[in-house]
Amino acid sequence: MYPNDGFRELGRQECLRLMAGVSVGRIVFTRRALPAVLPVNFGLDDDDAVLLRTSAMSDLVRVVDGAVVAFEADDVDAARHSGWSVVVTGPAAVVTDPAEHERLARTGPVSWVPAPREVFVRIEPELVTGRELIGGRTLYGVNLTA
């Protein structure tokens, strides 16, 4: 972010609090050496890790397990020129511990497309950044609603 670019920088805890209030985001990963983005539903675990639940056979599982990924969630009101966007960056890993998988099956997100065999993907929040645009105003003093 650049100073005075019209957005307010959000702290880590504020970012995580905002993310906890939405259920859809986008995972950003590399597929065939190119960036790829996929909308997914998600949840946050008690340690603030991003949790995805998907088919064990999905292509997503194969390409993100063990890779560093980005995850973005937001809430934007285009009419009011307001909203926020948060990006979590960190390593993604399939949960392999049976007890952890059982716990997440009870408390974690529910898959949009249930499959016979599902896995959980954890994204560790090593870097958490966010920005907020407030009510059509910029830090330059320009009123966007006028």
pLDDT tens digits for range 55-114: 999 999 999 999 999 999 999 988 888 899 999 999 999 999 999 999 999 999 998 888
Per-residue model confidence (pLDDT) at position 138:
56
The answer on pLDDT for 143 being more than 50 is yes
**Do 137 and 28 touch, CB atoms closer than 8 A?**
no
DSSP state of 141: S
Instruction: Note the pTM of the prediction, 2 decimals.
Output: 0.87
Average model confidence (pLDDT) across the chain: 90
The answer on pLDDT for 1 being more than 50 is no
Owner of token pair 């285009």: 78
Higher pLDDT, 6 or 108: 108
The answer on pLDDT for 37 being more than 50 is yes
Q: Which residues are CB-neighbours of 126 under 8 A, at least 6 positions away?
A: 89, 90, 91
The answer on pLDDT for 124 being more than 60 is yes
